[in-house]
Amino acid sequence: MNIRSLWTATAVAGLVLSLSACGSDDGADAGDTGTGTGTGDVAAADLDLVTDGTLTVCSDVPYPPFEDFDESAPSGFSGFDIDIVQAVADGLGLDLAVKDSSFDGLQSGLSLNAGECDLAASAMTITDDRKKNLDFSEGYYDSLQSLLVPAGSDITAIGDLAGKKVGVQQGTTGEAYTKENAADADIIAFPSNAEMFQAIQAGQVAALLQDLPVNVDNAKKSDGKFEIVEEYDTEETYGLAIKKGNTALVEAVDKQLGELRESGEYDTLYDKYFSADDAAASTDG
Enumerate the CATH 3.40.190.10 domain ranges in the chain, comma separated.
54-143+236-277, 144-235
pLDDT in single tens digits along all 285 residues of the chain: 333 333 333 433 443 333 333 333 333 333 333 334 444 456 667 899 999 999 999 999 999 999 999 999 999 999 999 999 999 999 999 999 999 999 999 999 999 999 999 999 999 999 999 999 999 999 999 989 999 999 999 999 999 999 999 999 998 999 999 999 999 999 999 998 999 999 999 999 999 999 999 999 999 999 999 999 999 999 889 999 999 999 999 999 999 999 999 999 999 999 898 864 444 444 333
3-state secondary structure of 169: strand
Residue type, 252: A
Q: In what order do the strands lie in the sheet with 186-190?
A: 186-190, 165-169, 207-211, 141-150, 226-238
Fold of 54-143+236-277: D-Maltodextrin-Binding Protein; domain 2 (3.40.190)
- Are the C-beta atoms of residues 120 and 58 closer than 8 Å to each other? yes
Nearest to 172 by CA among 150, 155, 183, 187: 187
| Cβ atoms 58, 106 nearer than 8 A | yes
What pTM did the predictor assign? 0.73
User: Yes or no: is domain 144-235 CATH 3.40.190.10?
Assistant: yes
Distance CA(52)–CA(146), nearest Å, equals 40
